[in-house]
Amino acid sequence: MFPRSKQEMIEELDQWVLELNDRHEEVIIIVEGKKDIGSLEMIGVNCRMVHMNKGLSVLTYLESIKDRIRPFEELGHFDTMIILTDWDRTGGRLAHKLKDACQNLGISYDMDPRKQLAKLTGKWVRDVESLDSLMG
């Protein structure tokens, strides 16, 4: 269900951010691009975040994160990877590739925040990088 008004949606988005931030010590969020990270920071997300590297396969990239191989030495420990790709067809495909790679590497993952965000904002925005436009 979509919120009845933009104000209600913003209030629910604020709650989504608070719940995500409550997990900041245990999670790392993976997004598609740098603009996604900037947008999440603008709406108040303070979790560790990484964006996809288009030069590596999904499996190799996640393996580098898991093993803290350069440039991920400073990430520290995380229990769960939150997959937060866009809710379009391309983002859905990437989310499933990330999920499969996490399973292959034994990385715990969570796609629920992505589903919640898509359900919450689908009427207003269609991708992560546009989230900050809701606050304007």
**pLDDT given at position 56:** 85
Q: How many CB atoms lie within 10 A of CB 3?
A: 17
pTM, entire model = 0.93
Give the integer Cα–Cα distance in Å for 36 and 102. Answer: 21
Query: What's the pLDDT tens digit per position in 72-95?
Result: 888 888 999 999 999 999 999 999
CB 16 within 8 A of CB 117: yes
Q: What is the mean pLDDT of residues 21-33?
A: 96
Query: What's the pLDDT tens digit per position in 41-73?
Result: 999 999 999 999 878 899 999 999 999 888 888
Identify the CA nearest to 110 among candidates 17, 13, 44, 28: 28
**pLDDT given at position 4:** 67
- Domains belonging to the chain, first-starting first, are 26-121 (3.40.1360.10)
**pLDDT given at position 136:** 63
Q: Answer whether residue 122 shows pLDDT above 80.
A: no
Q: Which residue has better confidence, 5 or 102? A: 102
